[in-house]
């Protein structure tokens, strides 16, 4: 009788193998495998990964339950071994469990970096760095050179974030030469389904054999050296007192407070980790995906360029105010974030108490994955979801700001991305410049059908192979 009373009504899920459960069904693109499985087992599905019970939400209604109705109960983070290492033992914002510390750090970083006023104050940095990208492209265009646009866009967002968050230039910093590789490997480490998290005893050994452990140590050392360098720069240069590092150092010295918390150097570095990796990877890859879809859809490219050139006319100086008038360009970005949401499974969550979603029991400690990639590609939600059609957003109120559960590239609720305004300001300004100033063609011998649309897998999913294109000078260059 007792057993019957305790039996939980868990969401349905595929049969499991002994020991590994459903891990073998994840494949190299977990978001795609999870979508396929959810077509059979439903929008709230149970999966078992080794010792860990998880559920996956993959339709707007169940995603809304997780991110809105039960947000308070579902917004903690599980302990993930490698993200914990890289974030100085969850002393950051993104991997920290839902706690008083997380609330204080979120409040402080929002005020320092992410309010509309702060984002506006960094505008000159964005404009200078975009101008320097334009100069580089102009030079390549006049020589007829192929440009690795993905690489250049990563460099652009890296340069902006280094100046905004760290008060130093990427050029000349400890990450100057290794930056792309370090960020890519960090994202792989942070998004990996690590054996140690599912098999506490043998998992450590498995991760050593697969190389995950050593990759994690390598990126940790590279990131740590960069944080040390920026902190040293602040300690030595007293004129740098207005940015987030200066504030964090004041908190370490007890001259400013963070609620009841006394910050240590590890807290400072953990907080800086999110500023660097969340800020760098995302804006650059969004523009890279947008350009990939534009180049493979010449009709859309032509229409977007016509709009930009009509609105900007012959103004020399493109400013962020111009974005407001570019309705079609905004649709292009929305469609890019729909078809390639950069964080396809959001950051994993953990239920902090027993809850009931859609009539199913979700026991405390269950891990929760939100498959927004699945929602964005669901044919019941979007017509022809694999096609890139910005016009689908015409006369349609759906936006990406966390209120429409069909489109959630930044998540929603307490854990929603605080850097949305900063990321989008840079993405829009860059795209306007690329479209206004240049025409674009593929390298000789390459056709639209040859452009690879495959995504890499990590916490963030960029294009797997970089976008290589030839810029062409125009009268607006
Ligand atoms: C196109 C640009 C961007 C996209 C698509 C994006 C997307 C996301 C997503 C999906 C999450 C996870 C939400 C969740 O777990 O529910 C997130 C979290 C976060 N993002 Fe972004 N992001 C972008 C730009 C930025 C920028 C520029 C910054 C900062 C400089 C930033 C800082 C963060 C931080 C700190 C978190 C963790 C929030 C928390 O757990 O409390 N993001 N972002």
C-alpha–C-alpha distance, residues 217 and 194, integer Å: 14
Long-range contact pairs involving 102-105 (C-beta distance under 8 Å, separation at least 24): 103/259, 104/258, 104/259, 104/261, 105/258, 105/271
Question: Does the C-beta of 158 come closer than 6 Å to ligand 1?
Answer: no
Q: What is the pLDDT of residue 3?
A: 57
Q: Whose CA is nearest to atom 11 of ligand 1?
A: 417
Region 232-241: mean pLDDT is 85
Q: Report pLDDT digits (tens) over 126-163.
A: 999 999 999 999 999 999 999 999 999 999 999 999 89
The alpha carbon dihedral of 177, 181, 184, 186 has a sign of negative
Which residue lies with its CA nearest to atom 6 of ligand 1?
A: 410
How far apart (Å, rounded) are the C-alpha atoms in residues 25 and 18? 13
Q: Quick one: pLDDT band at residue 279, thresholds 50, 70, 90? A: confident
- The two tokens of residue 163 are 């100046």
Report the relative pairing of strands 438-441 and 52-57 from DSSP bridges: unpaired
- In this structure, the residue with its CA closest to atom 18 of ligand 1 is 417
Give SS3 for 349. Answer: strand
Confidence band for 15, pLDDT divided at 50, 70 and 90: very high
CA within 13 Å, CB half, 142: 7
pLDDT-derived band at 5, boundaries 50, 70, 90: low
pTM summary value: 0.94
Q: How far apart are CA 282 and CA 94, in angstroms?
A: 14
Measure the CA angle with vertex 272, ends 271 and 278; round to 5°.
95
Q: Tokens standing for 59?
A: 């339709």
Taking the C-alpha atoms of residue 147 and residue 244, their distance in angstroms, rounded to an integer, is 34
Whether 274 is in the pocket of ligand 1, judged by its Cβ within 6 Å, is yes
The predicted structure's pLDDT at residue 4? 58
CA distance 457 to 464: 8
417: annotated binding-site residue?
Answer: yes
Beta bridge pairs of residue 46 = 55
Nearest one of 269, 257, 198 to 17, comparing CA atoms: 198
* Nearest in space to 183 (alpha carbons), one of 122, 265, 273: 273
Expressed in angstroms and rounded, the spacing between residue 282 Cα and the centre of ligand 1 is 8
């Amino acid at each position: 009788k007792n057993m019957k009373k305790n039996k939980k009504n868990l969401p349905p899920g595929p049969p499991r193998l002994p020991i590994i459960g459903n891990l073998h069904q994840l494949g190299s693109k977990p978001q795609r495998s999870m979508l396929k499985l959810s077509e059979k087992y439903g929008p709230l599905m149970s999966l078992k990964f080794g010792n860990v019970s998880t559920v996956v939400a993959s339709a707007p209604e169940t995603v809304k339950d997780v991110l809105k109705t039960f947000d308070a109960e579902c917004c903690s983070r599980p302990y993930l071994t490698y993200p914990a290492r890289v974030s100085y033992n969850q002393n950051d914002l993104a991997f920290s469990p839902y706690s008083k510390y997380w609330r204080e750090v979120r409040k402080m970083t929002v005020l320092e970096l992410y309010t509309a006023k702060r984002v506006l104050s960094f505008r000159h940095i964005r404009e200078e760095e975009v101008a320097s990208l334009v100069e580089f492209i102009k030079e390549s265009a006049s020589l007829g050179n192929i440009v690795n646009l993905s690489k250049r866009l990563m460099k652009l967002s890296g340069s902006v974030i280094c100046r905004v968050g760290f008060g130093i230039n990427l050029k000349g910093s400890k990450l100057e030469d290794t930056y792309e590789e370090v960020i890519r490997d960090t994202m792989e480490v942070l998004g990996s389904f690590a054996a140690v998290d599912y098999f506490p005893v043998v998992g450590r050994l498995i991760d050593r054999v697969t190389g995950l452990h050593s990759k994690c140590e390598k990126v940790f050392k590279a990131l740590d050296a960069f944080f040390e360098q920026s902190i040293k720069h602040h300690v030595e240069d007293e004129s740098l007192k207005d940015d987030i590092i200066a504030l964090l150092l004041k908190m370490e010295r007890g001259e400013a407070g963070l609620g009841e918390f006394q910050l240590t150097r590890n807290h400072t570095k953990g907080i800086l980790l999110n500023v660097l990796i969340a800020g760098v990877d995302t804006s650059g890859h969004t523009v890279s995906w947008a350009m990939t879809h534009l180049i493979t859809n010449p009709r859309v490219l032509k229409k977007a360029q016509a709009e930009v050139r009509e609105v900007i006319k012959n103004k020399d100086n493109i400013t962020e105010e111009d974005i407001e008038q570019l309705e079609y360009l905004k649709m292009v970005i929305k469609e890019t974030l729909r078809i390639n949401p950069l964080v396809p499974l959001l950051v994993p969550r953990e239920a902090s108490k027993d809850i009931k979603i859609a009539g199913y029991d979700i026991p405390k400690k269950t891990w929760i994955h939100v498959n927004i990639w699945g929602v964005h590609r669901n044919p019941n939600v979007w017509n022809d979801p694999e096609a890139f059609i910005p016009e689908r957003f015409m006369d349609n109120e759906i936006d990406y700001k966390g209120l429409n559960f069909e489109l959630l590239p930044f998540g929603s609720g307490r854990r929603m991305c605080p850097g949305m305004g900063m990321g989008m300001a840079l993405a829009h300004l860059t795209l306007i410049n690329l479209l206004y100033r240049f025409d674009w063609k593929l390298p000789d011998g390459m056709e639209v059908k040859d452009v690879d649309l495959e995504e890499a897998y990590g916490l963030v999913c960029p294009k797997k192979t970089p976008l290589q294109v030839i810029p062409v000078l125009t009268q607006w260059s």
